């Protein structure tokens, strides 16, 4: 009877998982995806780097279509599952599979962690596994966040008993699916804290030391190019040398603390705990303290770690610490805030611990209510379901920009643009205004602009000459380019307190003055401008309007950079 129940149960779990990913699987390029740090960068980096000319090239080979040529290692890691997928599959198929793969590993890892080490029953484990798997992971991060439950599961197996060989294999495979500089450093730090705790408690740590050494060694071997990236690259001074941090008051620090505690990191680690898991965990905590007149140890520790991480992130923005960070090249360039990557896992562990504190006779009913509410939130944040259904009733922001894959890259429109230009793509260069350069790059055009976390500082200065007049119009834009600068793009004054990188159809006014340096454009070899803006008096920038093109989301004016010689 129990075997039949489990079989039925697991089928239901798989059915809900497939329902969530049905748009990605069945709609294909017609499904909606988050463009932030995904379609606008990640997808194109790997598409370019796995072209036949570069696929087997060394890390320092120059990828010419991107920003007039950048070293391959600044865009991708060749020791990465997603790189291999792009070698084997078409770009969209690789992206489609990778998204489902990330979520699937998150599901399995959280299920195993809950059942084996958190001692949660099957219904609760299934709910928490689905909830964690349905948080909106950025594919850029691979399994850096999504794979944490599985990694913790095997580490605890290694810690508690004589582990099976597959535990070691999973441990060694993890660096091939995660980012070292964004997550691996912090995962190794947390691992070190666990080892330190066991040393203090006089627990045996030989196997943990070995596991730590294996994880570190594989990271070093597979991410050597990214380690050099982090340290400023090889053979050039990185644009990251000009990055600056800006201090805020202690009052603002407390607002940052509240933001991370209530929301997580809204850019890369949105945990969706705000509406259901957080109030549930806090309510159970308070009820337990009132009823038992004692603090629940495990849940207190978990909430304490969450609070400590949020406070740490907040206080890093305090003026004395910002001045310290700005005085050091490494501290200034490296994002010390990224302990936020653990918040998704920690809130789900807290929810598991809270469920264990619920009075047994109420557990089933409470679980049904909490699970129904939390999974409803998860489905509402699924991009396609949000755009097709939820948006009609309530406006939320799952992330920054949500578009269908086919609309975003507008391949038919770009074929028309290339036909209008009438030259082989390698014989000219383009820049984009109001459109991420990734769109042109995806369509095979060679660009002078781009989004890269590491590129030569002199190139940033050359590119800045193009937009110098526009940067003088808006201080926020000037800070965006001068003190971050990973998006070496045409930043222009939009009259907004922030720079909008996606000026889709209907957003731009009938015309806007955009002043570019004709001389600087020519120095970087730019021949054409693809603009979402209708530029007033383009002749002032040495531009001539050639044609207008439209797609589902883009309205593009094609300008030629006039040769005055």
Q: How confident is the model at residue 329 (pLDDT cuts 50, 70, 90)?
A: confident
What is residue 162's predicted lDDT score, i.e. its pLDDT?
A: 80
Q: What is the pLDDT of residue 401?
A: 87
Under a CB-based contact definition with an 8 Å cutoff, are residues 418 and 412 in contact? no
Residue 230 has pLDDT above 80, yes or no: no
Instruction: Show the DSSP H helices in 30-175 as ranges.
Output: 42-49, 81-88, 91-116, 122-133, 143-146, 148-160, 165-173
Mean pLDDT of 406-429: 97
Break the chain into its structural domains and give their ranges: 1-30+77-236+361-387, 237-357, 410-561
Q: 380 or 397: which carries more pLDDT confidence?
A: 380
- Note the pLDDT tens digit of each residue in 456-480: 999 999 999 999 999 999 999 999 9
Contacts of 389 (CB under 8 A, 6+ apart): none
> Quick check: 234 pLDDT over 80?
no
Q: Is 550's pLDDT higher than 60?
A: yes
Of 239 and 9, which is predicted with more confidence?
239
pLDDT for the residue numbered 28: 96
What are the distances in angstroms from CA 501 to CA 31, 130, 430, 434, 550?
Answer: 22, 33, 17, 6, 18
pLDDT per residue as tens digits for the range 79-108: 999 999 999 999 999 999 999 999 999 999
Helix (H, G, I), strand (E, B) or coil at 82: helix
User: Is the confidence at residue 233, as pLDDT, over 80?
Assistant: no
CB within 8 A of 264, min separation 6: which ones?
270, 271, 273, 274, 340, 343, 344, 347
Q: Which residues contact 121 (CB under 8 A, 6 or more apart)?
A: none
Query: What integer is the mean pLDDT of 47-51?
Result: 97
Share of the chain above pLDDT 70, in %: 96
Residue 228: the pLDDT is: 59
* Average of per-residue pLDDT across 159-164: 87
Asked whether residue 534 carries a pLDDT value surpassing 70, the answer given is yes
Q: With pLDDT > 90 as the criterion, what percentage of the chain qualifies?
A: 81
Tokens of 417: 């643009």
User: Which of 4-8, 294-298, 351-355, 386-390 shows the lowest mean pLDDT across its residues?
Assistant: 4-8
Residue 367 has pLDDT above 80, yes or no: yes
pLDDT for 6 equals 62
What DSSP element (H or E) covers 403? strand 402-404
What are the two backbone dihedrals, phi and then psi, of residue 504, each rounded to the nearest 5 degrees?
Answer: -80, 175
Asked if the model's pLDDT at residue 510 lies above 90, the reply is yes
pLDDT score for 267:
73
Mean pLDDT is lowest, of 46-50, 150-154, 232-236, 349-353, for 232-236
At 332, the pLDDT band (50, 70, 90 cuts) reads confident
pLDDT given at position 1: 42
pLDDT at 229 over 60: no
- Residue pair 124/114 in contact (Cβ under 8 Å)? The answer is yes
Report the C-alpha gap between 490 and 451 in whole angstroms: 11
Ramachandran angles phi, psi of 78, nearest 5°: -75, -20
- The pTM score is 0.94
Q: Work out the number of other CB atoms within 10 angstroms of the CB of residue 217.
A: 12
pLDDT of residue 474: 94
Q: What is the pLDDT of residue 270?
A: 79
Average pLDDT for the chain: 93
Alpha-carbon distance 229 to 486, whole Å?
Answer: 13
Which one is predicted more confidently, 68 or 180? 68
Per-residue pLDDT at 173 exceeds 80: yes
């Amino acid at each position: 009877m129990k075997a039949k129940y489990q079989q039925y149960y697991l089928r239901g779990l798989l059915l809900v998982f497939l329902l969530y990913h049905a748009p990605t699987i069945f709609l294909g390029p017609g499904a909606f995806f988050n463009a932030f740090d995904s379609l606008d960068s990640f997808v194109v980096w790997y598409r370019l780097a796995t072209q036949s000319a570069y696929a087997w090239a060394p890390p320092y080979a120059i990828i010419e279509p991107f920003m007039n040529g950048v070293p391959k290692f600044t865009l991708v890691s060749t020791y990465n599952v997603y790189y291999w997928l792009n070698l084997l599959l078409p770009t969209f198929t690789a992206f489609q599979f990778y998204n489902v793969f990330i979520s699937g590993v998150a599901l399995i890892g959280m299920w195993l962690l809950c059942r084996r080490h958190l001692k949660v029953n099957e219904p609760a484990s299934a709910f928490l596994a689905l909830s964690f798997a349905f948080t909106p992971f950025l594919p850029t991060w691979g399994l850096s966040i999504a794979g944490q439950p599985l990694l913790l599961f095997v580490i605890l197996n290694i810690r508690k008993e004589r582990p099976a060989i597959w535990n070691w294999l999973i441990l060694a495979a993890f660096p091939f699916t995660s980012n070292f500089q964004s997550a691996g450093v912090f995962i190794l730090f947390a691992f070190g804290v666990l080892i330190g705790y066991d040393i203090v408690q006089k627990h045996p740590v030989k196997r943990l030391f070995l596991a730590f050494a294996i994880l570190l060694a594989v990271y070093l071997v597979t991410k050597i190019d990214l380690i050099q990236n982090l340290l400023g690259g090889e053979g050039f001074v990185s644009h990251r040398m000009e990055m600056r941090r800006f201090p805020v008051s202690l009052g603002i620090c407390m607002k940052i603390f509240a933001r991370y505690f209530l929301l997580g990191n809204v850019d890369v680690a949105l945990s969706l705990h705000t509406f259901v898991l957080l109030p549930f965990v806090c309510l159970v905590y308070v009820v337990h303290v009132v009823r038992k007149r004692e603090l629940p140890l495990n849940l207190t520790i978990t909430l304490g770690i969450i609070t400590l991480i949020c406070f740490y992130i907040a206080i890093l923005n305090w003026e004395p610490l910002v001045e310290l960070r700005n005085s050091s090249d490494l501290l200034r360039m490296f994002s010390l805030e990224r302990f936020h990557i653990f918040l998704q896992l920690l809130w789900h562990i807290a929810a598991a611990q809270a469920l264990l504190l619920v009075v047994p006779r109420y557990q089933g009913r409470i679980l049904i209510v909490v699970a129904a509410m939390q999974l409803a939130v998860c489905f509402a944040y699924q991009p396609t379901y949000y755009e097709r259904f939820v948006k009609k009733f309530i406006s939320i922001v799952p992330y920054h920009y949500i578009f269908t894959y086919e609309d975003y890259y507008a391949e038919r429109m770009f074929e028309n643009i290339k036909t209008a230009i009438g030259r082989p793509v390698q014989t000219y260069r383009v820049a984009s205004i109001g459109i991420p350069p990734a769109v042109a790059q995806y369509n095979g055009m060679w660009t002078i602009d781009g989004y890269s976390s590491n590129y030569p500082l002199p190139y940033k200065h050359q590119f800045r000459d193009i937009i110098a007049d526009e940067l003088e119009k808006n201080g926020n834009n000037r800070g965006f380019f001068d003190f971050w600068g990973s998006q070496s793009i045409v930043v222009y004054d939009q009259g907004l307190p922030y720079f909008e990188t996606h000026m889709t159809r209907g957003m731009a006014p009938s015309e806007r003055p955009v002043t570019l340096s004709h001389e600087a454009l020519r120095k970087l070899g730019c021949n054409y401008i693809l603009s979402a803006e209708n530029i007033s008096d383009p002749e002032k920038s040495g531009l001539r309007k050639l044609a207008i093109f439209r797609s589902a989301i883009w309205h593009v004016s094609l300008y030629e950079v006039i040769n005055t010689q």
